[in-house]
Amino acid sequence: MPKQLYPEPTVGGLIFNPEGRFLLLKSHKWLGKYVIPGGHIELGETMEQALKQEIKEETNLDIYDIEFIFDKTFWQKGHYIFFDFACKTDLTDVKLNDEAEKYVWVTIAEGLALPLDPYTKIVIEAYLKKQKRENKDV
């Protein structure tokens, strides 16, 4: 495998359904931890295009009302830059590809109680902080 010479930009989405629950995927790629769907930004794609494409590919869901939450850079067997968003879907019938074994629609509290990938927990907490700031300003 060639050595990675540049950062890999990726996107992820906290997808909320009409009941206000969000989607978590249990993934063998993340050692059986729960994660949000997403993936790599391909050359020439915008972040929003990549988010829509990755979510459609992994869950068969269409999303809208895309709102930026958080970005984080880290190194773990490669250099990644994560851009995370909150978004909505009107559908709840998820069709997983082979990247995940299971899915759940959960409240924020229920999600935080699950065995989460550490980065997914950071994203959920960043979303909560953003919501508190926005509600405070109203």
CATH number at residue 71: 3.90.79.10
SS3 state of residue 14 = strand
Domain for residue 2, yes or no? no
pLDDT of the residue at 29: 83
Q: What is the Cα–Cα distance from 29 to 102, expressed in whole angstroms? A: 12
pTM of the model: 0.88
- Asked whether the predicted pLDDT for residue 132 surpasses 70, the reply is yes
Provide the number of structural domains found in the chain. 1
Q: Provide the pairing of β-strand 33-35 with 22-27.
A: antiparallel
Share of the chain above pLDDT 90, in %: 71
Split at pLDDT 50, 70, 90, the class of 7 is confident
Domain for residue 1, yes or no? no
Domain for residue 107, yes or no? yes
- pLDDT tens per residue across span 22-63: 999 998 888 899 999 999 999 999 999 999 999 999 999 999
Domain ranges, residue 105 = 8-137
